[in-house]
Amino acid sequence: MNRPLDPKTPHLDEQAFHPIDSAALFDPAQPTHPIRVLMLYGSLRQRSYSRLLAEEAARILMGYGAEVRFFDPSGLPLPDESAADHPKVAELRDLSLWSEAQVWCSPERHGAMTGVMKSQIDWLPLSLGGVRPTQGRTLALMQVSGGSQSFNTLNQLRVLGRWMRMVTIPNQSSVPKAFAEFEENGRMKPSPYYNRVVDVMEELMKFTWLLRGRTDYLTDRYSERVETAKALSERVNQRSI
């Protein structure tokens, strides 16, 4: 049975409750530089298949006109092992802030992502001096396996992407028996797995273009505006300084 709703919202902070700005969604100012993509991979092996897959994906992204940078996890300390001013931590955070999109590629080990991969993500905080180094960025996920095809690592990475407030695209890549999918020179062989990697990178670029110029508005939240307004009010109305 339908009944009329009381339209009153007495708990809303009217100053922080903004109407939807269609101009910010449909007619934003567009940057002109190439889309900036950060590649993270989860293995330190000399012949790292997660790195080789990330490199193959980077070539595809460059073909779409993106500027691509890699973070080498060698020398990155364990989370909390060092201070945040460690050079490798600072490099990782700077690259994350530089990026508009990211690609995470990890091997699957014991049915999960590697510690190398998780350490990189753990060093990227939700907030860094009032700036979130991952929020609003698009994210594509890939994994390599030594055996049959699996999606365990992808599922874990997808949870982390959401937790890091990233826009994780629907498509993803899982490459089984990765040792058989790459030539000696490190290039990926033609296959349906390669075609899927192209699909994922194409989708990442499309989603990044769609969100470009809109991420600040899309990640502007009522709850945070309320908190900010209260903090401002308390500061302005202090009786003594």
CA distance 87 to 41: 19
Rounded average pLDDT over 135-139: 94
Residue 26 scores a pLDDT above 50: yes
**Is 119 within the bounds of a domain?**
yes
Distance CA 123, CA 64 (A): 29
- The residue range of the domain holding 198 is 30-215
| 12's tokens | 């809303």
| Residue 239 located in a structural domain | no
Strand duo 67-70 + 36-41: pairing: parallel
Give the pLDDT score at 235.
56
The answer as to whether 236 is a domain residue is no
pLDDT category at 167 given cuts 50, 70, 90 is very high
Instruction: Report yes or no on 179 lying in a domain.
Output: yes
Is the overall model pTM greater than 0.85, yes or no? yes
* 8 lies in some domain: no
Q: What average pLDDT does range 119-140 have in this prediction?
A: 86
**Residue 162 is assigned to a structural domain of this protein:** yes
* 152 part of a folded domain: yes
The mean of the pLDDT values for the chain is 91
On whether residue 69 sits in a domain, the answer given is yes
Give the domain CATH number at 142: 3.40.50.360
pLDDT value at 241 more than 50 = no
Alpha helices by DSSP H, listed for the chain, are: 22-26, 49-63, 87-98, 115-122, 152-163, 192-211, 215-218, 222-236
Average of pLDDT values for 227-232?
A: 67
In DSSP notation, 136-182 reads T-EEEEEEE-SSS---HHHHHHHHHHHHTT-EEEEEEEEESSGGGSB
pLDDT at 27: 85
CA nearest neighbour of 141 among 54, 241, 44? 54
Q: CB of 32 within 8 A of CB of 97?
A: no
- Domains in the chain, number: 1
* pLDDT mean over 180-191: 96
pLDDT score at 130: 61
pLDDT value at 17 more than 70: yes
